Amino acid sequence: MRKRILIAFTLTVFMFAVIACGGGDYPRRTDDSNTLYVGYQADSFPTSFMPWLSREGIAPTVSSMIYNTLFSYDDETGQFDPIIGKEWYYVCPDGEPILTDEGDIDYERLDEVYASGDRNYLPVKIRIHDDVTWSDGTPLTVEDIYFTLDTGSNNAVSNHAGALAWTADLQHRYRDGRLIRQGIFTYENGAAEQGYHIDEEDKDTVMYIHVDKILGAVTTLFTSILILPEHIWGPIISEDNPLNSRNPEGELLKQYQNPVGSGPWELDTDRSGSQQIILHRRDDYHRKADDGGPLYQVETIRFQLYQEINVAIYALLKGHIDVLNSSVSSNYLRLFEGKDDIFVSNAPGTFTQTLVLNVNPVSSERNPIRDLLADSDFRKAIALAVNQDQLIDLVLNGAGQRACPGLMPTHLEDFYNPDSCPLPRDPDERLALANEILDDIVPEHDASGYRLLDGERVAFDVLGHPGEQDLVSFLEVQMERIGIDINYAAKGARPERTFLYNSRFDMTLQGVIFSLENIDIMYRAHFVQLGETSNYGRLQNEELNEKIETMRRTLNLHEKFDLIYETQPLIAQEFYKIPLYTANVITVARTDRYTNWQVETGASVFNTTSLEKLERVEGE
């Protein structure tokens, strides 16, 4: 009831703000050009776009539109789709492609050739499109890719820890700024010496790389690293002037602010600033629509900054913008009901909110209450007390889906294992089972009904951001039913350094996204590795670790998929990252200037497919 009253109050305040706001002269109302107006809520816009530095807010979105990766990954098919890269495949030691008669990668033969033997790497041949250009007109060649991967491997020049993670499975190694092992080969950089023949006519489009013997090793190299132009960055970066700088000066600063990319969009540096970002479609972009015309149907994109979400929504309703780029709270859904020219995308999400338990803190952070979390039966009782259906109804207003403890998205039907949902669904049965378990572990209660351990109330703090207080409040009510006291604690600005990496927490909220694209890296980061990783609670399970490592190392694709399937119940039975819900992605667009918005799982309605298929309304 309290939540419903709060929602009603929020809506009333919002509608008062709408009524109180006046009109004004807004460009979209009189703009008959092919310009898409996109609203984005943030404190400010970035004014520089060095792509590897862009991590927060709108910066990654804009950088990925200005720059390109080699390939993109289709989670539904498990295939890498061409972008800069045209094709790729593994090769035998003699350079012959390991392909089936249909032209697909022959994983059985790959297993036969490389599973045993003294080679500790897989050689990969990459061919790129021959008509890719940088936005300044310079052709893009494999030397740009060599430069990018080489720079990412050399922290002395890149000064970028993320790049080292992206290239971790690339067998190209630096030590103290000196190359000690080469794993990237082009016509100009050692291909012939390594035994790879490249015809002179192919010198700009063909290259080879050596990666660890892991099928997922190519993924981050192909899909995470935005390729940089060597002719721009090569002359200006060095160990004394690294690529990633918090205080860029001179030519470095100039290139930060005037990006030269190979992507489909180019930054209008003269008109962009802290309040708006304007991108123009590159008509010379190498990827085209099926009819040979431009891939994207919009000529210009204008991102408009709004510091308050209420103001951004008002701008959309009044026709000042065409679409909101980011997701809005489900609390606002009622505002859009019955409105003319409004399209609401309520897409299934891929981001699962979890409650992470500190199961294995460092010795200095242990205490008797926190030690209870080391008991898997105690953790199971907490998982049983979480009523996902209730959280989805009250916290998300129904705009979400249940998630299984195995944490694999259910929409990946070929890989999701239903055995990773081992608990009963009936809430009364769950509570009875949870209390039965806890009665054996902490049977004593205080006068308020909370459980006691050696006379001390069993109470835990849950780290969260201010916007997550409602969620913690509802968890507090749910845990009270099993005699556990839950309280909200603020994460602060840098929770990893302040609380998580050093075990100074009981529980924390953490978003999890697992997919076939990231699973080789993310399974290890969330469940295996210790230290500065996403394994905040320092879980250690030898059986699970071995299963994950075997999954990563097998070269038999069918076996890999089987191991992913088998890993999910092992993750589920730990009750370590307890799923709360998977929230839908709610975004809103207008249909009076553009129609044919596309809804995609896990994405806002402002997505690349929409940009490919948007249609101008006649007369606009």
Query: pLDDT tens digits, residue range 53-112?
Result: 655 678 888 999 999 999 998 877 778 999 999 999 999 988 899 999 998 899 889 988
Q: How far apart are the C-alpha atoms of 160 and 162, rounded to whole Å?
A: 5
Average of per-residue pLDDT across 552-561: 87
Q: How far apart are the C-alpha atoms of 374 and 397, rounded to whole Å?
A: 34
Q: Residue 521 above 90 pLDDT?
A: no
What the block records as the tokens of 308 is: 């308050």
The confidence band for 333, taking pLDDT boundaries of 50, 70 and 90, is confident
Same CATH topology for 68-233 and 352-583: the answer is no
CATH superfamily, domain 2-63+263-346+585-616, is Periplasmic binding protein-like II (3.40.190.10)
- Lowest mean pLDDT: which of 4-13, 216-225, 347-356, 580-589? 4-13
Q: How far apart are the C-alpha atoms of 263 and 73, rounded to whole Å?
A: 17
E strand segments, 118-264:
121-128, 173-175, 178-181, 184-185, 206-212
Tell me the fold of 352-583. Answer: Dipeptide-binding Protein; domain 3 (3.10.105)
* Architecture of the structural domain at 68-233: Alpha-Beta Complex (3.90)
Tell me what percent of the residues of the chain surpass a pLDDT of 90.
69
The confidence band for 8, taking pLDDT boundaries of 50, 70 and 90, is very low
Helix ranges restricted to H, 509-616: 519-527, 542-553, 557-572, 608-613
Q: How far apart are the C-alpha atoms of 340 and 195, rounded to whole Å?
A: 65
Domain ranges of the chain: 2-63+263-346+585-616, 68-233, 352-583
Name, of 68-82, 138-152, 214-228, the range with top average pLDDT: 138-152
Query: pLDDT tens digits, residue range 271-308?
Result: 998 889 999 999 999 999 999 999 999 999 999 999 89
Average of per-residue pLDDT across 356-363: 96
Contacts 24+ apart (CB under 8 A), 498-503: 499/463, 500/463, 500/536, 501/531, 501/532, 501/536, 502/362, 502/365, 503/358, 503/361, 503/362, 503/364, 503/365, 503/538
pLDDT the model gives residue 216:
86
Indicate the pTM of the whole model. Answer: 0.84
